[in-house]
Structure 1
Amino acid sequence: MFSLFIALLGLLCVPLAIAQNNDDIGLRNGYLNLTTKSFELKLVRDAGVLVSLKPAGDSFDFLPFDYLSYRARNGQYHWGDITYRYREASASGGGGSWIDGDSAAARKPVLQGATNDDQEGALATSILTPTLPGGSPLNVTRRWTEVSGGDLGLRFTIRNSGPVALELGSLGFPTEFNSIFTGRPTAEMAAVCSLSDPYIGMHAGHIRVAPTKGSGPALVVTPLLLGDGDNNKNNNNSSSTPMEAYRNLQESHYDEQTAYGSQTFEGLYEWQVLTKAWAENEWAGTGVEPWNAPSSRVLQPGESLEFGLRFSVAKEGVRELDAVIRSTGTPVAVGVPGYIISQGSSAMLYLQSTSEVQSVTVSPSEALAVTNQSAGRYSVTPGGSAWGRARLEIQYGDGKLQTVHYYITKRGTEAVGDLGHFSTTEQWFNDTSDPFGRAPSVMTYDYEAKAIVAQDPRAWVAGLSDEGGAGSFLAAAVKQAVQPSAAEVAKLESFVDGVLWKTIQTADFAHILYEPAQMPGYQYNPSFDWSVWWSWNKQASYAIDRAYDYVHVAATYWALYRVARAYPALTRSHAWEFYLNQAYQTIMRSMKSDPRWSDGETVFGEILADLKREGQASKASSLEESMRSRATQWNSEEVPFGSEMAWDSTGQEGVYYWTKYFGSRTQHSRLSTAYLGLMPAVPHWGWNGNARRYWDNIYGGKLQRIERQIHHYGSGLNSLVLLSAFRHDPSDAYLLRAGYGGVSGPLSSIHADGFASASFHSWPDTLKWDGYSGDYGPNFVGLALGSGTYVADMGDEDGGIGLVAFGGSLKIESGGRVTVITGDPVRRRVFIGPLGVLLNIDAGIISEFSYEAGGSISVLLSQLEGFRKLMLPSFGSKRRPAL
């Protein structure tokens, strides 16, 4: 995110030198090279863990085998490892302290077990006793098997060999994929690395793994059903292996070769089957509500439990994953429009399973009403006052339990209104004595302290630039473009004249800088560490070389231009010409600072379109040529994404926008596919459409740590690519599913009172929204530019769902006429997929529309309640053409 960080990243981005590491995993004795019909794999001979997994006949490896020499020590996890906690069982349900077991903590060669006809399909069998804590009454046997269809199975049998009953309160299977970007050039990273995302859905839970480039074979890990792979019946497990939680793993070696837990290597997680021991200890006292109810299992003396996972390849890529999951006997759910739903609306849930649904339970009980409309089809409606997280527990006749996770918001337009009010009141900073020149402005807010962040060692967070500082005024301004308020516009105009144009763009202050000699008499908070690199001095604060900073400013001007053009009575300081010119000039200046990289550039495209519509041909031509030169360069590159960060999933949606704008069909098609590697479609509000992002809490959050962020601003911005790609090809509903999940993400960030958080913390010990507003602003830009009501014919896809509306309520009238009532947060954009028609308006709302297959379209325009008295546009001789 920040150019001064480049020097630090250089330590992580140099080519790796060959290092001599301790070989705790036993590499010196080589590997077992095995095959199934679907895979080629390698197991470490001594440890029996999986270190290479390739689709049959393909060179792509889902695991980081090329970095194995750096990951061969104690405390470093691989597929085939196991962690657990147990204690003596108590009749009262309580008990003593939990005892840990971990196969990776102190490795010893495992014992090779027999492979015979009693273990049908077995590839390798290991007894893990030597590599587990001594004296444990738990005996663990691990088997790698080939299961039906040629898939790979991983199976554990856990037996209580002691004299007393034991309670197993934690059971985890560490996961590993090649998500190590450290030391890899961009092209290599795109060619060899993978991105993985969980669905924490109990017996329907799974992990989706996509190549970073988005194309090529994908992988899915599902619960292994009993009977798949061998004939062992010696267990009491009535169903498959649930994913109860997805826990981050703290490895013991944070080494320089892989930079575990850094911006270039997020780290690893484990599939947790049982979590009661964690809920009673590490997760206790934090107020955390786990994704699923924590559980444990009791093993009587001599009794055993069996669990397992199945690895399946989707040869045709990520779009095929749902079909592959269904083929394993794992239930599949598809939500329309997704799993973030607003009060006053209904969603549809389509369940696909080999077993009938026995019951559906809601938690909290009043949060959602679920109605079975037909076989496998359910409507899901929020309770009248419900807000926040909710969970469906779906019980199937074969014993499987599936959980589907929802997030309920206020009505979309109401939440947007709340955001505008909160940001221009609670976040409004008007201390004109401020020595940094930040007043009046919308500033970063600490929701937990209920106060504006006036000081922070990160200069930008308490300042007004970069995402962490500009995010708040950016969201407040862009909100006006979709839902203007006279009082809010007045404040933002005072911000433009008093701070944005007066100080920020003239390289005055408007940052909090740490240079006491420059700020005599100012009391810096003594509890902060002001010695770190991000406590900028005056020179660093005045730097103007980062192009993304210009996007926030240009978007602010553009939003006020839209207000002035559509609602001229609301802007008093300047006419629309001023704001459009300021937006244009800001873009042109950014090209001098950093002509190659920038994010959030879809708004640049909006500004170009507005220049053309206003007849400002010279400016439009200059802007277009600036964009063309970059698009030409990007078209020649295999991986044109990037920023000052070593790896960046911000989306670089500007690259997609401009390559598409200038007609590179091959490039923009390839780039849209790449986003499918970043944004999954899963039945969980947090991960559905959630763009992979895990470092920005360090730079914009209150809780600073490397952690998969839920619906950080990458969700909103990346969604613009997938939604655009869907409009280009309405037959590809998968693009819409993932894209609409992403564009809904910024709505979930808005609290009931209007505060908008930077992101949600996904680690199971936290599961809460971050306390800072931070860099939320770009996320809202994505919502404003992408939200709409999208009609799609899902046809035979996903089990024949048919015609649906994302962001609206659809009804098919007699004679085939389709009527849709809009319900998205903006209600100014409609895309009718079957007709390939996009409709946009600048003022008021589209309350409903209807169409016929022959192409006849009717649109009903209206105003939001409370907006009826606002003056509508009066264009006169400069009438602006309709959008």
Structure 2
Amino acid sequence: MPLKRRDLLTSLPVACVAGHIAPRAFGAVPPTSGTIRSDSGPFAVTLDTASQVLSSLSPRTAPDFDFAPKRRNGITAGDYALGDIDIRFRAGGAWLDVSTAFHRATVKALPATGDVLAAADLTPTLPAGCPLHVERRWIVAADTLILRFIVTNRSTAAVDIGGLGFAMPFDNVLTGRTLEQAHALASFADPYVGRDAGYLQVTRLNGQGPALLVLPEPGTPFETWMPIADGKAADGGAALLKDRTKRELTFEGFYRWMVASKGFADREWRGAEQWNEPTGFTLAPGETRSFGLRLALAPDIRSIERRLAAAGRPVVVGIPGYVLPTDLPADLFVKAGQPVSRINVSPPGAITVDAAPPAGGWMRYRLTGRTWGRARVTLHHGDGSRQTVHYTVIKPAREVAGDLGRFLFTRQWYEDPADRFGRSPAIMSYDRERDAIITQEKRVWIAGLSDEGGAGAWLAAIMKQLDNPVAAEIAKFERFHVEVIERHLQVGDGPEREGVRKSLFWYDPAHAAEYDPAIDWTTWASWKPERARSVVRSFNYVHVAAAQWVLYRLARNRVGLVTAHDWRWYLDRAARTAIAMSRLAPEYVKFGQMEGDVFVAILADLRHAGLTAPADALEADMRKRADLWSTETFPFGSEMPWDSTGQEEVYAWMRHFGDHTKADLTREVILGYDPLIPHWGYNGSARRYWDFLFAGKTARIERQLHHYGSSLNALPLFDSYRRDPADIHLLRVAYGGLMGSLTNVDRDGFGACAFHSNPDMMRFDAYSGDYGMSFFGHAIATASYLVQHPEFGWIGFGGTVTETGGRVTIAPKDSARTRIFIAPVKLWLVLEAGRFAAATFDPGSGAVTLTLEARDAYTPVARLVIEGEGYHLTGARAPERGAHVVALGDDETLIRLARA
């Protein structure tokens, strides 16, 4: 159950770092107008004179940009600032919370000499009688800014520290800003909760450099990332300290770096499995401990790992990532100044770790997933420090897809001829906590089969069929399409019925007795019939068009799977739905649509089918949208105040129409939204924090891990990588988002909308919600990539790699096994029908041998699309609809590609 607002404690303990910086003259600017300034080191730093907390942090390489939040236009910059610490402590009684953020008394300045920019005794900011004495130092070094705290127990009794944290408020407040201002001025922070090797990365929304790195000094582990809740309250004498900046669609909230958190884990977070084992410590009378953080800059996002290594930090690189299907081992490359003395896995046996031959100066370990679920790998370095790397183990990807399909078509299958809303038969939204279909919800679309929160279930059901078709499942889906989509969800004056309704469920006061009285039907989200029947929301059209396109593909490329209509009908209907979007829902057509890549695919298939008139009409509509985007600095608007929904489609049409400058800009912004971090939950996880309000069971503002933006944003990154295989950063981020989509599927096949990252929950939401949009991205993009890395050698993403006799083979283990990219020769191979068993590449000649799986009852031939300069299929007929047709046998089929 979600915690009540008053129960979300937000004060944490303070930390101070040990270490010594040799004195030097740093050239601090004397206080002027209440500020302390320094232009030495990598930053232009401004502190408030009275409180000595940070008010400005500008990179000297980008003086017009500031990482610190500002008070502007009546919008608060927050009660918290960088330089504040929170401590939860007890001295024989109940836990008490203190913070330097809520009593801005003038601190007692201490002598500042040498490299010390400012030093202070923080006692005036703490409550009377507090047994802790805290001092703070700001130190300017050549390439870093150091924030250091010294905490002393000044009492005669031992003091237990159950929480200690540093406020990390950076300028992620988008309220009151235009999209252009937000992308130019704001930044996002993402944590690597890797204990002693952890760090925080702060990246600009526009994806440009520099990037800020917050690094721990010895004794300052990054244990967890804790939100600072909004509002202030008091409870039982323990101050529940919160920031007054209200969380909303334009503000995710501020966070704090937690060094210790056991006092929270034992109380507010009880029952939630934390990323790291929560710890606390005891200060004996008179004992002092120091904690500290170093702020450094990386020139750009792609150079973050290099900057970490240059700073002497242990760096790990997981290939292909941090999601471990049990049939696809992974490599962990480690570069550290100290040897790894031992490795622990929690829970024991979840992952086996075997040493492998080093590569390019990196230690190498082979990891194999054994037990389903989250797992933590702890590296014990020779200097006594501990580094945690966070994995999740899943079933083989193909099995995950199968489980998802079975769950959707059995437990989420709804059939009730008496349903007066016209929703039967259908694949409906699901509540995993109740293990029941959601037939009534105050957010009516969730039970109404449309908008993302209601269409997610049936969209996942059809996207699963694209590469993993099951005849019985497709038959059910066609029933749903004929009896629900064609008759009720799509509406219009003629037989085309092209408009798409917002919801097939609504609240009608005239039938109040039929609705659950336990539900509050008075909110804005309980749409009345007229609003639910509206066809003005463009985002709904994409889901329907995607379903119709998949049915076309199945009817065109397979035998006997689709029976309700022929391929031409489904392709025509997909095109009509896409074209109707601009005519019937013009308000939001100016924005990119989630899943918008499907429109590009529909256009291509219309061209291949020789359907020139609808192809021209569709392309003309899309060009109008693209022409508008080409005039916008950052064309990523949405129905929300700001959004990342449209990045995928904007990129796709910019590429299609040749605006590569705008496409590249879109790609770089995605990198600002999607971090590359040694953690399955954050790696490739696109920034999204409001959709629990619209599609989740626990509805709150919260950083969502692997919401549908993760897999959708992967699409442009994969495409960009195939254009430039030297930029492996793109592939790593994209693969993290792609595989993140599979982590949402539990052992039985239920797909959740996203993971709750706040430490009081740390689990997937109970609603299926908008997960289907996530699986759309996964189904469209999943592939195996064969890469020759300059340091690691031959590696695979999505498949196992072997080397024999100078040739390299990749055996796909992805969920589809229909796409392979051979990076050294930029060869992109796609099967519209059939499956790959393996691809063997000869680096000397460039020759490629493909092994195709045996035919099945629905796939007598394979259809192979070859995109690679100079490659051709030996002895083949001319392509048909852009693909080579290859007869399949009862055993595997070998085909060879030669290079001219």
TM-score (norm 1): 0.90
Count of aligned pairs: 815
Post-superposition Cα deviations, 1:301-342, rounded to whole Å, max 9, x if no partner, equal 221111111111112x10111111122222111111110110
Structure 2 letter corresponding to 1:112 = A
1:538 is displaced (CA, Å) by: 1.2
Moved more, 759-768 or 58-67: 58-67
Distance in 1 of aligned mates of 2:357 and 2:675: 27
What SS is found at the alignment partner of 1:320?
helix
What SS is found at the alignment partner of 2:640?
coil
Distance in 2 of aligned mates of 1:878 and 1:804: 31
1:636 is displaced (CA, Å) by: 2.1
Distance in 1 of aligned mates of 2:138 and 2:383: 25
Distance in 1 of aligned mates of 2:646 and 2:290: 42
1:819 is displaced (CA, Å) by: 0.8
Determine if the alignment matches structure 1 residue 775 to structure 2 residue 775: no
What SS is found at the alignment partner of 2:575?
helix
Paired position in structure 1 for 2:318:
335
1:639 is displaced (CA, Å) by: 0.9
Paired position in structure 2 for 1:15:
none
Paired position in structure 1 for 2:811:
821
Post-superposition Cα deviations, 1:577-608, rounded to whole Å, max 9, x if no partner, equal 11111111100001112331222111111111
Structure 2 residue corresponding to 1:142, chosen from 133, 136, 152: 136
Determine if the alignment matches structure 1 residue 200 to structure 2 residue 193: yes
Structure 2 residue corresponding to 1:173, chosen from 166, 174, 177: 166
Paired position in structure 2 for 1:561:
552
Distance in 2 of aligned mates of 1:679 and 1:193: 15
What SS is found at the alignment partner of 2:38?
strand
Determine if the alignment matches structure 1 residue 868 to structure 2 residue 865: no
8 A Cα contact 1:422 1:753, kept in partner: yes
8 A Cα contact 1:424 1:476, kept in partner: yes
Determine if the alignment matches structure 1 residue 271 to structure 2 residue 254: no
Paired position in structure 1 for 2:106:
109
* Aligned alpha-carbon RMSD (Å): 2.1
What SS is found at the alignment partner of 1:83?
strand
Paired position in structure 2 for 1:44:
48
Query: Which structure 1 segments of 5+ residues have no match?
Result: 1-26, 89-94, 225-238
Structure 1's 160 and 554: CA in aligned 2 closer, same or farther, altered over 3 A? same
Determine if the alignment matches structure 1 residue 294 to structure 2 residue 278: yes
Distance in 1 of aligned mates of 2:569 and 2:74: 60
**1:65-144 aligned within 5 A:** 65-67=70-72, 70-71=75-76, 76-88=79-91, 96-116=93-113, 120-144=114-138
Determine if the alignment matches structure 1 residue 220 to structure 2 residue 213: yes
Paired position in structure 2 for 1:589:
580
Post-superposition Cα deviations, 1:639-673, rounded to whole Å, max 9, x if no partner, equal 11111110102243110000011111211111111
Distance in 2 of aligned mates of 1:636 and 1:574: 41
Distance in 2 of aligned mates of 1:879 and 1:194: 48
Query: Which structure 2 segments of 5+ residues have no match?
Result: 1-30, 234-242, 492-499, 864-876, 885-900
Structure 2 letter corresponding to 1:179 = N
Paired position in structure 2 for 1:372:
355
Paired position in structure 2 for 1:882:
883
Structure 2 residue corresponding to 1:697, chosen from 689, 692, 712: 692
8 A Cα contact 2:77 2:245, kept in partner: no
1:77 is displaced (CA, Å) by: 0.9
What SS is found at the alignment partner of 1:416?
helix
Determine if the alignment matches structure 1 residue 524 to structure 2 residue 529: no
Paired position in structure 2 for 1:810:
801
Distance in 2 of aligned mates of 1:689 and 1:695: 18
Structure 1 letter corresponding to 2:332 = L
8 A Cα contact 1:437 1:509, kept in partner: no
TM-score (norm 2): 0.88
1:873 is displaced (CA, Å) by: 5.2
Structure 1's 377 and 575: CA in aligned 2 closer, same or farther, altered over 3 A? farther
Structure 2 letter corresponding to 1:451 = A
Paired position in structure 2 for 1:351:
334
What SS is found at the alignment partner of 2:333?
strand
What SS is found at the alignment partner of 1:841?
strand
Structure 2 residue corresponding to 1:447, chosen from 432, 450, 464: 432
1:361 is displaced (CA, Å) by: 0.2
Greater share of strand residues, 1 or 2? 2
What SS is found at the alignment partner of 1:502?
helix
Structure 1 letter corresponding to 2:433 = E
Determine if the alignment matches structure 1 residue 479 to structure 2 residue 484: no
Determine if the alignment matches structure 1 residue 261 to structure 2 residue 247: yes
Structure 1's 356 and 737: CA in aligned 2 closer, same or farther, altered over 3 A? same
Distance in 2 of aligned mates of 1:69 and 1:558: 49
8 A Cα contact 1:651 1:714, kept in partner: no
Determine if the alignment matches structure 1 residue 210 to structure 2 residue 203: yes
8 A Cα contact 1:499 1:510, kept in partner: no
Distance in 1 of aligned mates of 2:188 and 2:95: 33
1:101 is displaced (CA, Å) by: 1.4
Structure 2 residue corresponding to 1:154, chosen from 143, 147, 151: 147
Distance in 2 of aligned mates of 1:533 and 1:251: 23
What SS is found at the alignment partner of 1:302?
coil
Structure 2 letter corresponding to 1:840 = V
8 A Cα contact 2:86 2:164, kept in partner: yes
Paired position in structure 2 for 1:684:
679
8 A Cα contact 1:436 1:509, kept in partner: no
Distance in 2 of aligned mates of 1:526 and 1:694: 30
**1:454-469 aligned within 5 A:** 454-469=439-454
Paired position in structure 2 for 1:845:
835
Paired position in structure 2 for 1:620:
615
Structure 2 letter corresponding to 1:175 = M
Distance in 1 of aligned mates of 2:862 and 2:227: 57
Distance in 1 of aligned mates of 2:616 and 2:342: 61
Distance in 1 of aligned mates of 2:139 and 2:205: 28
Paired position in structure 1 for 2:825:
835
Structure 1's 259 and 532: CA in aligned 2 closer, same or farther, altered over 3 A? farther
Structure 1 letter corresponding to 2:883 = A
8 A Cα contact 1:142 1:155, kept in partner: yes
Paired position in structure 2 for 1:233:
none
Moved more, 375-384 or 849-858: 375-384
Percent identical: 40
What SS is found at the alignment partner of 1:539?
helix
Determine if the alignment matches structure 1 residue 541 to structure 2 residue 532: yes
Post-superposition Cα deviations, 1:525-549, rounded to whole Å, max 9, x if no partner, equal 1111111111001111011111110
Paired position in structure 1 for 2:221:
242
